[in-house]
């Protein structure tokens, strides 16, 4: 991870955000010292404001400039947390617990350290969670994480606090530890000449802040604490630049790094500093405006998969405190939370079978009056919506006829149905909705049956005082006329009805125990006979119960002792177990969408659904997320692929498979792929399992040959799918039936991210923004041992390919020519020009003795015809450059094939 090459944020420069000041590290000598919190500097932010972002050239997440005001003061660490402090607070055995900044820690590690310091000083903690997962000493995942802005405990500073502190305490990139003076290493805190009030706000180590990454708006927000979620990627924010960056590239408004930053990211130049101080009336902000939503996804996508058989699922519900629709997308692995723009007051949400639409009515059950039906696009970015006002539409439910015709079934009232006269004045309708328009409206029968209707349309139920049933043109009252509500008809052919009661005599007699209102889910068969009573968890009662498309699972909310709908749960009728999906303040009317045809477990019961084809987890970094898409492509195209492209992000963004005429091509490259990873996938997947393969094109990134297998081993051990494949000898005795389906069913990036990585059969969909006149350098000296390791891997690839009769083309990708002409090094990571010449000569020597190995050098030591507009950044091509290079590669392939 330390050297992960840019992919998702190809265009961001490394950031910096505040003034570094050194001076004395003794807080007694500083007039701004917070005397209650050792090592902290009091920041007088109350009644003041700061500016986040910029109106100048910046990435999409950095524009426009946004004002943030403060209704409070806070304190921030004089310097970055040191290794000594980290060891003292956490109790961890840290090698060299000195005054260097503590780096190689994840966001999760940082907030756990904040909690640890709070506990040591007997303060309330600012973060709570249910479970933390650790890999090699680092926390890589935290479930049910909740941040309490009003806590008086230690925490990470918000981005706004960090920027304001930088303005107050000094942001001096020229006086920082940077690429010009750091000797490519960290330095003890507060050791630059410019350190005065705050140290190392620019340079030394980049710093975690508390916020999720979100977009800005030209407005003013008080007490801003970031986006309510990190979007599809679950992105976090880094500030301040590091010892690797040029001072002129450090900007106070910058928010990221050269790679996508998530909570599980760690690298040797990212650390953190702490803040303390309660934030009153904290405001999140996203494209829909400010929000105080406190939604906490609890169940992981894998936990949900264990119940429904897939991660391709979405949960939508109403946040009743805010009157908003909230959506959780499970397929992308990090339980991304979205807030689609609502049109009316959303109650009784229901998701269309294809997952594209959310429908809802404007009043809850038990309320009489006109209900307006709304249908809107599921995607938060799509503002398409439809409104139906010809008749009242209470509690709509999607209905599909003949597998193609989509409609909505609803009653005209969700009010009290106790009176026959009132009830039968209402109607049950079917409203066609196809091709983005409403169709015919058909009355099905008298009475408002809003609890569901069978596929054959001869059986319907409703509840709201009485449990009424329409069956074969007959209307009856079930449950001995006792009070019932929240009725829902199963979505299979069993015609089972679930409902809640109020501790009635019939229910208590069937359950053989006393219980209070809504403390049992009761299930009746198609004749009205009770067949099951499922108890609520201790201290809770059920509400908003609804069958899912899985015949064994019920979706419900739980109300606590104070009557708050604080949880959404999945109830398994097979064992009455309850899986908590979400926690919050007031969560109403949940709807769970499961992609049709997805919920399929392996036919072979000896195979593990927790490992088979699981190439990405919630905690997966960018490389694994990209590679998950590439493994989908591999298992989909393996029977007919003829040309395989693999390698780092340079080949990922530099070769367009659809422009290759020499054979059906697929780009399997991923960010930060090293030669160890290249050899692994070629030897164990591409060559053994792609019978038509003719040529493999690989990236020859000689400036990255200072690395060996560090990145690959981290990726290989981070998800179970590769280990499981290895345990089964990479399926040398036969690939499991439906392997592609198992792979695709597992966690994937969200559709937008997925499309970026899968574009044109695996080309990264970047853009040509040009290379810089002041290129960023991550120079490392030539290492003979590492270089020989990479040369050995290359030879191994060539030799094993030869046994399959396959050619190998090694491609030297172009980079910014200023690396050579201005910086006097060969590429972004080095090496020196003399060492590069030696490595290139070695490649030529290999090509002379290996008759299936060819070299396509498109860099030519900077003397090529690639213009700035062909590049996405200093060392990656954009789409125009990829087109130019691919045409030349295709010409070579046609010759050698």
What phi and psi values does residue 26 have, to the nearest 5 degrees? -85, 120
Cβ atoms of residues 534 and 558 within 8 Å: no
> What's the CA gap between 740 and 635, in Å, rounded?
5
Residues 699-731: pLDDT tens digits?
Answer: 999 999 999 998 899 889 888 999 999 999 999
339 pLDDT higher than 80 = no
pLDDT on residue 332 = 63
22 pLDDT higher than 50 = no
Rama region for 498: left / alpha / beta (φ>0; ψ in -120 to 50; rest): beta
Residues 188-220: pLDDT tens digits?
Answer: 999 987 767 899 999 999 999 999 998 888 899
142 pLDDT higher than 60 = yes
pLDDT on residue 222 = 93
Mean predicted lDDT score pLDDT of the chain = 89
| 85-89, 341-345, 640-644, 655-659: range with lowest mean pLDDT | 341-345
Please report which helix (H) or strand (E) contains residue 757, including its range: helix 751-762
- CA distances for 568 relative to 328, 338, 395, 597, 681, angstroms: 12, 16, 19, 24, 41
Residues 789-823: pLDDT tens digits?
Answer: 999 999 999 999 999 999 999 999 999 999 999 99
Q: pLDDT-based confidence at 46, cuts 50/70/90?
A: very high
Percent of the chain clearing pLDDT 70 (strictly above)? 93
CB neighbours (10 Å) of residue 127?
21
Residues 52-63: pLDDT tens digits?
Answer: 999 986 667 888
pLDDT on residue 50 = 96
- Tell me the DSSP string of 876-893: EE-HHHHHHHHHHHHHHH
Residues 636-656: pLDDT tens digits?
Answer: 999 999 999 999 999 999 999
pLDDT on residue 293 = 57
- Would you call 305 helix, strand, or coil by DSSP? helix
Scan for tokens 């001869």, then name that residue.
458
* Averaged pLDDT, 592-597: 84
And the tokens for 149? 């802005």
Higher-pLDDT residue of 737, 387: 387
287 pLDDT higher than 80 = no
> What's the CA gap between 250 and 240, in Å, rounded?
7
CA 397 to chain centre: 30
Residues 25-36: pLDDT tens digits?
Answer: 433 467 889 999
Across 858-896, b (16+ Cβ under 10 Å) vs e yields: bbebbeeebeeebbbbbbbbbbbbbbbbbeebbebbeee
> What's the CA gap between 502 and 814, in Å, rounded?
72
> What's the CA gap between 610 and 603, in Å, rounded?
14
* Domains of the chain in sequence order: 27-286 (3.90.1580.10), 622-896 (3.40.50.1110)
And the tokens for 793? 């891997």
CB neighbours (10 Å) of residue 857?
16
């Amino acid at each position: 991870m330390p050297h992960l090459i840019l992919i998702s944020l190809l265009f961001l420069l490394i950031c910096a955000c505040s003034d570094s000041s050194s001076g004395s590290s003794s807080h007694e000598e500083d007039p701004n010292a917070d005397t209650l919190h050792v090592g902290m500097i009091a920041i007088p932010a109350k009644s003041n404001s700061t500016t986040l972002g910029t109106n100048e050239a910046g990435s999409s997440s950095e524009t426009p400039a946004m004002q943030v005001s403060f209704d409070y003061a806070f304190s921030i660490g004089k310097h970055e947390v040191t290794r000594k402090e980290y060891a003292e607070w956490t109790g961890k055995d840290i090698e060299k617990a000195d005054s260097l900044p503590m780096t190689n820690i994840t966001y999760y590690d940082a907030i756990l350290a904040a909690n640890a310091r709070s506990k040591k000083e007997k303060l309330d903690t600012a973060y709570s969670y249910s479970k933390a997962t650790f890999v090699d000493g680092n926390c890589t995942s935290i479930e049910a994480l909740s941040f309490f802005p009003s806590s008086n405990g230690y925490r990470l500073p918000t981005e706004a606090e960090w920027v304001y502190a930088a303005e107050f305490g000094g942001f001096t990139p020229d006086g920082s530890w940077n690429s010009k003076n750091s000797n490519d290493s960290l330095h003890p805190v507060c050791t630059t000449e410019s350190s005065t009030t705050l140290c190392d706000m620019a340079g030394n180590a980049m710093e975690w802040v508390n916020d999720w990454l979100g977009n800005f708006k030209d407005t003013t927000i008080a007490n801003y604490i970031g986006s309510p979620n990190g979007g599809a990627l679950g992105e976090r924010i880094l500030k301040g630049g590091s010892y690797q960056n040029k001072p002129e590239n450090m900007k106070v408004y910058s928010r990221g790094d050269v790679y996508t930053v998530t909570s599980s990211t760690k690298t040797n130049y990212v650390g953190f500093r702490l803040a303390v101080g309660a934030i009153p009336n904290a405001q999140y902000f996203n494209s829909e405006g400010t929000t105080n939503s406190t939604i906490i996804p609890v169940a992981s996508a894998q936990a949900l998969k264990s119940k429904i058989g897939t991660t391709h699922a979405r949960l939508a519900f109403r946040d009743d405190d805010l009157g908003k629709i909230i959506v959780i997308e499970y397929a992308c692995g990090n339980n991304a939370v979205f807030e689609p723009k609502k049109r009316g007051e959303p109650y009784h949400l229901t998701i269309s079978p294809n997952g594209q639409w959310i429908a809802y009515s404007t009043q809850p059950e038990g309320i009489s009056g006109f209900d307006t039906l709304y249908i809107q696009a599921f995607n938060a970015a799509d503002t398409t919506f439809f409104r139906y006002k010809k008749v009242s539409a209470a509690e709509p439910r999607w209905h599909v006829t003949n597998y193609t015709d989509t409609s909505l079934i609803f009653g005209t009232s969700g009010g009290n149905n106790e009176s026959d006269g009132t009830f039968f004045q209402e109607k049950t309708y079917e409203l066609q909705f196809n091709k983005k328009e409403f169709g015919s409206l058909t009355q099905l029968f008298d009475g408002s049956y809003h609890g569901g209707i069978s596929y054959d349309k001869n059986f319907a139920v409703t509840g709201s005082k009485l449990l009424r049933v329409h069956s074969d043109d007959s209307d009856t009252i079930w449950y001995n006329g006792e009070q019932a509500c929240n009725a829902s008809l199963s979505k299979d052919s069993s015609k089972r009805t679930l409902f809640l009661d109020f501790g009635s005599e019939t229910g208590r007699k069937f359950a053989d125990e006393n219980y209070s209102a809504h403390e049992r889910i009761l299930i009746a068969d198609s004749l009205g006979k009770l067949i099951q009573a499922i108890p609520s968890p201790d201290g809770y009662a059920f509400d908003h119960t609804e069958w899912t498309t899985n015949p064994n699972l019920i979706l419900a909310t739980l109300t606590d002792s104070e009557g708050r709908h604080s949880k959404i749960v999945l109830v398994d009728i097979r064992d009455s177990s309850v899986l908590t999906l979400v926690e919050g303040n007031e969560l109403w009317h949940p709807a769970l969408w499961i992609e049709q045809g997805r919920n399929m477990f392996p036919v072979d019961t000896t195979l593990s659904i927790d490992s088979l084809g699981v190439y990405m987890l919630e905690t997966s970094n960018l490389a694994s997320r990209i590679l998950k898409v590439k493994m989908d492509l591999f298992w989909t195209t393996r029977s007919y692929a003829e040309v395989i492209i693999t390698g780092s992000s340079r080949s990922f963004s530099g070769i367009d498979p659809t422009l290759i005429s020499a054979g059906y091509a697929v780009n399997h490259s991923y960010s930060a792929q090293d030669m160890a990873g290249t050899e692994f996938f070629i030897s164990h997947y591409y060559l053994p399992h792609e019978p038509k393969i003719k040529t493999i094109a690989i990236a020859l990134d000689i400036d990255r040959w200072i690395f060996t297998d560090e990145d690959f081993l981290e990726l290989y051990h981070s998800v179970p799918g590769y280990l499981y494949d290895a345990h089964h000898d990479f399926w040398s005795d036969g690939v499991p039936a439906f392997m592609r389906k198992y792979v695709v069913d597992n966690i994937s990036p969200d559709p937008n991210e997925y499309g970026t990585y899968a574009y044109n059969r695996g080309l990264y969909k970047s853009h040509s923004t040009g290379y810089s006149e002041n290129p960023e350098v991550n120079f490392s000296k030539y290492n003979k041992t590492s270089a020989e390791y990479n040369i050995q891997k290359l030879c191994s690839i060539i030799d094993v390919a030869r046994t399959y009769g396959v050619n190998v083309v090694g491609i030297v990708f172009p980079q910014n020519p200023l690396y050579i002409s201005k910086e006097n090094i060969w590429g972004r990571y080095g090496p020196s020009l003399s060492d590069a010449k030696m490595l290139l000569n070695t490649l030529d020597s290999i090509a002379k003795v290996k008759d299936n190995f060819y070299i396509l050098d498109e860099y030519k030591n900077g003397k090529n015809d690639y213009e700035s507009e062909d590049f996405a950044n200093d060392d990656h091509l954009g789409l125009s450059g990829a087109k130019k290079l691919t045409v030349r590669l295709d010409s070579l392939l046609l010759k050698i094939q």
